[in-house]
Structure formats: C-alpha cells, structure tokens
Amino acid sequence: MENDLNVVGQRLPMHDAAAKANGTAVFTDDLVFPGMLHGKILRSPYAHAKILNIDTSKALKLPGVKGVVTGRDIPDRLYGIVPKARDEYALAKGKVRYIGDEVAAVCATNLETAEEAIELIEVTYEELPAVFDPLDAIKEGAPLVHDDTPNNISLSINKQFGNVEKAFAESDFVFEDSFYSQPVNHAPMEPHAAVAQYDSQRGEVTLWSSTQIPFFLRRNLSNTLQIPESKVRVIKPKVGGGFGQKIDMFAKDFCAAWFAMKLLKPVKFVYEREELFIATRQRHPMHLTVKTGVKKDGTILAQKFKAYADGGAYNSTAPTMIALSCYFLMIPYHVPNLVYEGHHVYTNKPVGGAMRGHGIPQARFAVERQLDLICERINLDPAEIRMKNSIHAGESHPAKFIINSCGFYDSVKMAADAIGWKEKRGKLPFGRGVGLAGASFPSGVSNMSHISSGSVVQLGRDGAVNVLSGAADIGQGAETVISQIVAEVLGVPMEDIRITAADTGVTPLDSGTFGSGVTVRAGNAARVAAIAARDKLFDFVAKELEANPEDLMARNREIFVKGSPARKMSMKDAIKGYQYADLPMPIVGRASWFPPATEPTTLFKEDGNFAPSYSFMTQSAEVEVDPHTGKVKLLKMATAHDCGKPINPMLVEGQLEGSVVGGMGQALYEDVIVEKGQVMNASLLEYGFPTFMEMPEIEALEVITDDPIGPFGAKEAGEGTQLSPAPAIVNAIYDAIGVDFMELPITPEKILKALEKKA
C-alpha cells in the first residue's frame, strides 16, 4: 500500500510557508477596517478583593473614548471551555480573584487614548485574604476563592483499577516519592488578539480571533452575549502558535464583540506580552506523590498516585486535565493495579489551562523519575525496565483502552541506541550523563459526543479542488496535511488543492485543535469526503472505460483501470464528460467523522476507550553539567516517536523538534515566578526559555506502525513528544553528577546547592 501512495508520505513544505516567510500571511492583528476602534482592559491589582464601586465618568469624558463596559453592564452568564466547569464571567462581577482579573474595558478611536482612559477608571476595592499555595488552600479555614467551593477543591477524580493493596503486599519492593512540576507559560510568538464587526441589519456579529477552537468560541460568545449561535460567526486567521493557551474564550473576544454590537463600529483588542503571562493560561503546577510496587526483576505490580493541581483562580479545562493525568498513568506501561486521587485546587493566582500534554507532562515527570530511582535502588537498567513493562498492541487494558497499534517497545530501544546507552550509561566522566523516559498520548479524544469533524470536497469544472474544513491550523501544518490527504485520494498534485478552514460561517463543524486529534479527526473527514466526490466521478468514468468503479485508480490527474494503465482518461476530460452528461456540478463530497466510541463515555464515572488511537514515544538525552557554575548543557536529544505512518515526515520532524525544546524549557529554564499573587517575570526577557543558542543536536527517529483508524495509518505526532524530554534530561543529570532532583526546573542554583550538600 505504501508504494501506491503519491502525495501522502512526501516531505512537502507547508502550503502557507511562503506567505509566512515573506510577511504576507494575515494574522488577527494585521486586520484593519475603516473606522476601527481600539480597546484595552483594566485588570485587578489585587489577588483577592471585593469590587465596591467602579467610577467610569472620567474615562467617558476623555476625547476619543467611545465606550466603557464593566461587569455590571453585561449579562449574568458564566462561561467556560468545559460546560460542567463554568465559573468565569467575561468581566468580573462583584469580586476579583487574581492579579490580572478583568474589571473593565474601554473602547477609543486609537490605542493611546484607550490606554489613557483605563488609567482614569476609579475602582474601589475591599481587599480580602488570599491563598497562594494549593496545599494551604485545601486546609480548613483557608480563604475561599469561590464562595461555593469548600476547601477550594473545584474538581476531584478518584479511580481504582484492580487491587492495589493486595499487589503491594505481593511486591518485593514498594517505594514512595514526592515530586513537583512548576507553572510554565506557553509564550506563543503571536499575542492574543480579536477583531469584531457587527451587521446591524442582520443582527450578526463576526469575530476574527487568534483561537484554536472557533466553534467552541462561537458557543461561548453566544452564551455570554445572549444571542443565538446562528448570529455569531468566528473566523480564525493565521495563528502564531497556541500550544493550548488559545483554547479558551478571553475578555478580548467578548469585549470586541460587545463594543462592536453597541457602537456599530469594528473593534480590535490585542493583548500585550505581560497580559499573556498574567491573564491567559499556564501549565498547572502540580504536587504529586507516587507509590510503586515492583518485583525483583522490575515488573510493575501496582501504583498509587495523589496529585494536587494548582488551578489558579478559575477552572478552564480542569476536568479534562485531571482525567488525562490519571488515565495516562495506565499507558505506555503495564500497570495492572492503580489508584489515582487527583484534585484541582483554586488559588488566587494566574489560571491553569491546557498546555501541550495537558496534565500528562507533570504526571510523566513523576513516573519516569521514579522508575530511574527504583532502578538505582534495586540495581536494574532503566532502559530494560521500560521495555520489560511495555504495553503492546492488541492486549487487554485495565482502563479498557483499545490499543490497535503500538511501537513503544521499539521506541525505547531506538532512543537508547541513538544516545549510545550501553556505551555511556554510568560510564562517562563526572559531569556527563545520559537518560531516557517514555510516554504515550491520545490521537484525539472520543469520550464526548461533539468531538467530530466535518469536511466538504468540491471538484470544479477545471479540475481544481476546493476543500472546506473546520480544522484550526495554529502553525502545526494541519491544512497542509488535510490537503495532502485529499490530493492523494483524488489523484491530483498539491497545487490543485485550495483549502478554506476554521470559519464557522462557511466550514463544517469541527472541535478545534486540542488533544492532537486534528490529523485523525479532520484528516479522516477530508479523506471520506474526497472518496465521496471521487466515487461520483468514478461511476461516470467506469461506464466510459467499460470497467467497474472499484477497479479504477486516480493519479497524476488521470483516472485509469488497475492493471491496465493504458485504459485511462485525464481528470480534465472526465470532468468535462461528467458535465456534458448533465450531471450536477461541482462534484461534491461531504463527510463527518467521529471516532469510534461508546456513548456516553465519561471517564469520571466509568472506564472506556479514551481515544481512537494512541501514539508512543521515548526521548533520550545526553547532558554536560558544569560543576563550577551549575549550568546544564543539553548536548543531544534523540526522540523515537510512533506516529503510525507519517502523512508528511518533514512536518512530523518539525513537531518533534519543537516539542523537544519545549520539554527542555520545562526541565531547565521555564518557571512562572509568582510572589503573593504577582507574576514577577512577565516578559520574554525575564521569563527565561531556551533559544536557538541552547538548541541541542536533535535526532528524530520514526517508529513506523500502521494504525487502522487514522487516515493512511497516521496517528498523533508532536504533542506527545512534550511529555518525556524533561524527565529524560533530569535522569541524565543524575547519571552525570549522581544527584536526584524531584522538582522542576533544575536551575544552576539548585545544582550547586545539591553538589555542595553532596560534598
């Protein structure tokens, strides 16, 4: 089958690469409309306070100011990305819960006037006691971030598989360790932005937004503006990175739409970099305790986890995050007995939300670090223990996951070989070491009824192909991959494909970009829609060539009979003949693809298959630690990733490399520093993340499997790779200097202190 493919599997550049390179790609902030107004948001200076009064009179008198809105002016409607976890207002009502909470917004003829007007709004607060540590927040008597949430625990999950206590009793060794993973900011290059325009005759608002989920955003705007969804159109221009931070609706979206409807003018809001750090989303800081029982040979019998995730002031994606951190402890290793207790805790700090891996990187850090600790304690090889406990395709699973394809065992072996494991582990000079870690990630999720994707494929008179997809390309190359799939099915080159995506007024329903499901969901929808269009043309051509439709193939703009390539018709002639036969033009194929699942599957109450497919990966690292400065240099990272069969190997490699650097930041550099609720390093200069100067040698290794669910055998590629670089690096640091670290990030100060203590 692989040899039959013509476009799928090719190393093709992104279809919009040239536009991005030459600066002609249009992002949200590039949009300019006649008479456009500009908005700014007033944010709370307090971590926790009652709003006693807001005086906007001075701001309204400022020349150029066209409007001011506060929480008292807007509908009393809570919203949230997860319906059951709604706890936010578009602007604060009665109370602020973190430094940066949205209090009011202004709209003016230019940005400078809007900024001046913000300073003129007078807010009277009554400061309240605040809580900043999740372990303090759950104690009796702690200040309540939300009055209706006792002990500040907004969400808990308790799951048990098998009999953990019995398995512990049967274990030769039982170990318990505690870990901490820090808050990490997404730091996308493009700041969050929104532009809204209102059609008063039709009563319709159009919003251009740097969003990952146009259809979810439409739903939240409909809810908070209290207008029908049919009156809201969301368009996603180019997006300069999201990584999960652009999943939620933010005040900039609501306020742009609100002012556009009230003032009948286009309105733009663009966040400053500081606002991205303090008032969007970040990876949840998490405290984890892990207890593991093993046999002498390293066989894992049982694990028990307790996790406290610091959610900050609001829920955002809390239910999905806490479920993912639980269920992906069951994979990629055999864990026949597991108890997981996880809690999402409110604090008066910036809000936690979706970020690459979505709760799993924190859990994997704990698992993969403890596996190395166990190996050191009972004298086992860390690579061998991972291969020994590897899950395999087709095996039954305690959580009822269906593993159709799995290359994890091979990924461990390949990553170990690539880093020189047998030659280097424990054998390098002091200050040099190698380590590895493994993980698994879903290719989309299948536990909610709205997780589907639609596509429309149209063949025009001249053979050009127009694809409509709701998928949101945020820089990962989704539109390119979808175009390759359609081109393969129809037998045309990529230059014949034009794709229109992520416009709720034009494109079919799609759940957006999260959970690494775009290739599987939207790719399958596009594939089925393309087959539907192709089959209509095949029915006509089969009669002309006196063949059966199922015996036809399309390639290089030609349709021919399998085994008899001389019996053929060009695509142009086929479409012309189709049209002259008075058959309807354009030729249209439609499809909606939903992953196989039992409905409803709610992982809080019952077990079930979480995803249509699962990717598997292992990262190995070689580091050099300077004992005089404490600085860590990552010399090499090898990443072996089972993504099924790659649609575009070059894009896969780019995703793997990006995730490796993201994991490198989590391990060594990145930490949102918060003191009494105030973010202290809210800029790209102060935050500290890896740049090109710190880039290691990266070796991307393809672990080829053929997944039966994904389009052309493809699975997730990229997000899963973010899960295990951090523990791989920390494990390598142990090999280099013989010091265990249980908290991230591993800064030079921590290394010097540890070496001093060791000495």
Model confidence pLDDT, tens digit, residues 189-246: 999 999 999 999 999 999 999 999 999 999 999 999 999 999 999 999 999 999 999 9
What average pLDDT does the segment 745-750 reach?
A: 98
What DSSP designation does 350 have? Answer: P
Q: Which residues pair with 641 in a beta bridge?
A: 617, 702
Q: DSSP 3-state assignment of 84?
A: helix
Confidence of residue 569 (pLDDT cuts 50, 70, 90): very high
Q: Which residues of 491-520 are buried (b: 16+ CB within 10 A; e: fewer)?
A: bbebebbebebbbbeebbebbbbbbbbbbb
- Residue 689 is predicted with a pLDDT of 86
* pLDDT at 448 > cutoff 60: no
- Residue 450 is predicted with a pLDDT of 58
Rounded CA Rg of the chain: 27
- Is the distance from CB of 366 to CB of 159 less than 8 angstroms? no
Nearest Cα neighbor of 392 from 380, 404, 376, 375 is 404
Say which residues have a Cβ less than 8 Å from residue 756's Cβ, sequence separation at least 6. none
Q: What percent of the chain has pLDDT over 70?
A: 98
Q: What is the rounded distance in angstroms from the CA atom of residue 576 to the CA atom of residue 570?
A: 10
* pLDDT at 598 > cutoff 70: no
Both tokens of 80, joined, read 């949230």
- Per residue in 348-402, pLDDT (tens digit) is 999 999 999 999 999 999 999 999 999 999 999 999 999 999 999 999 999 889 9
Q: What is the rounded distance in angstroms from the CA atom of residue 499 to the CA atom of residue 190?
A: 23
Instruction: For 232, list phi and psi in degrees, rounded to 5.
Output: -120, 125
Q: What is the rounded distance in angstroms from the CA atom of residue 22 to the CA atom of residue 543?
A: 48
Q: Which CATH superfamily is domain 31-128+189-241+246-279 in?
A: Aldehyde oxidase/xanthine dehydrogenase, a/b hammerhead (3.90.1170.50)
Q: pLDDT averaged over the chain?
A: 95
Q: What is the rounded distance in angstroms from the CA atom of residue 495 to the CA atom of residue 435?
A: 44
Q: Is domain 452-593 annotated with CATH 3.40.50.40? A: no
Q: What is the rounded distance in angstroms from the CA atom of residue 445 to the CA atom of residue 597?
A: 9
Q: DSSP 3-state assignment of 541?
A: helix
What average pLDDT does the segment 395-421 reach?
A: 96
* pLDDT at 604 > cutoff 80: no
What DSSP designation does 15 have? Answer: T
Q: What is the rounded distance in angstroms from the CA atom of residue 226 to the CA atom of residue 216?
A: 15
Nearest Cα neighbor of 731 from 438, 435, 439, 437 is 435
Q: What is the rounded distance in angstroms from the CA atom of residue 351 to the CA atom of residue 363?
A: 19
Both tokens of 39, joined, read 């908005």
Q: What is the rounded distance in angstroms from the CA atom of residue 263 to the CA atom of residue 69?
A: 12
Q: What is the rounded distance in angstroms from the CA atom of residue 114 to the CA atom of residue 112?
A: 5
Both tokens of 532, joined, read 């539907």
- All CATH 3.90.1170.50 domain ranges of the chain, comma separated, are 31-128+189-241+246-279
- Residue 2 is predicted with a pLDDT of 43
- Residue 444 is predicted with a pLDDT of 87
Residue 424 neighbours by CB distance under 10 Å = 17
More confident residue, 57 or 594: 57
Q: DSSP 3-state assignment of 652?
A: helix
Q: What is the rounded distance in angstroms from the CA atom of residue 372 to the CA atom of residue 350?
A: 33
* pLDDT at 600 > cutoff 70: no
Q: What CATH number has the domain spanning 282-446+601-758? A: 3.30.365.10
Q: DSSP 3-state assignment of 506?
A: coil
Confidence of residue 599 (pLDDT cuts 50, 70, 90): very low
Q: What is the rounded distance in angstroms from the CA atom of residue 346 to the CA atom of residue 348?
A: 7
Say which residues have a Cβ less than 8 Å from residue 687's Cβ, sequence separation at least 6. 185, 187, 277, 670, 672, 681
What DSSP designation does 411 have? Answer: H
Both tokens of 665, joined, read 């930041």
Q: What is the rounded distance in angstroms from the CA atom of residue 398 to the CA atom of residue 275?
A: 43
What average pLDDT does the segment 425-451 reach?
A: 89
Q: What is the rounded distance in angstroms from the CA atom of residue 396 to the CA atom of residue 330?
A: 12
Amino acid at 596: P
Question: E strands along 192-246, which residues?
Answer: 193-199, 204-209, 232-235
| Degrees to nearest 5, angle at CA 537 with 534 and 539 | 110
Q: What is the rounded distance in angstroms from the CA atom of residue 579 to the CA atom of residue 621?
A: 59
Q: What is the rounded distance in angstroms from the CA atom of residue 420 to the CA atom of residue 732?
A: 13
- All CATH 3.30.365.10 domain ranges of the chain, comma separated, are 282-446+601-758, 452-593
Residue 299 neighbours by CB distance under 10 Å = 15
Q: What percent of the chain has pLDDT over 90?
A: 92
How far is CA 572 from each of CA 2, 443, 483, 490, rounded to the nearest angstrom?
27, 37, 20, 12
Calculate the CA 256 to chain-centre distance: 25
- Per residue in 626-671, pLDDT (tens digit) is 999 999 999 999 999 999 999 999 999 999 999 999 999 999 999 9
Which ranges of 109-250 would DSSP assign to H, the alpha helix?
A: 111-120, 134-137, 164-170, 214-225
- Residue 609 is predicted with a pLDDT of 85
* pLDDT at 278 > cutoff 90: yes
- Per residue in 712-724, pLDDT (tens digit) is 999 999 899 999 9
Which ranges of 551-647 would DSSP assign to H, the alpha helix?
A: 571-580
- Per residue in 1-39, pLDDT (tens digit) is 345 899 999 999 999 999 999 999 999 999 999 999 999
Both tokens of 293, joined, read 């029982």
What average pLDDT does the segment 559-587 reach?
A: 94
- Is the distance from CB of 381 to CB of 436 less than 8 angstroms? no
Task: Return the half-sphere exposure (C-beta side, CA atoms, 13 A cut-off) of residue 594.
Answer: 10
* pLDDT at 447 > cutoff 80: no
Q: What is the rounded distance in angstroms from the CA atom of residue 196 to the CA atom of residue 403?
A: 44
In Å, the largest CA–CA distance within the chain is 87
Q: What is the rounded distance in angstroms from the CA atom of residue 528 to the CA atom of residue 516?
A: 20
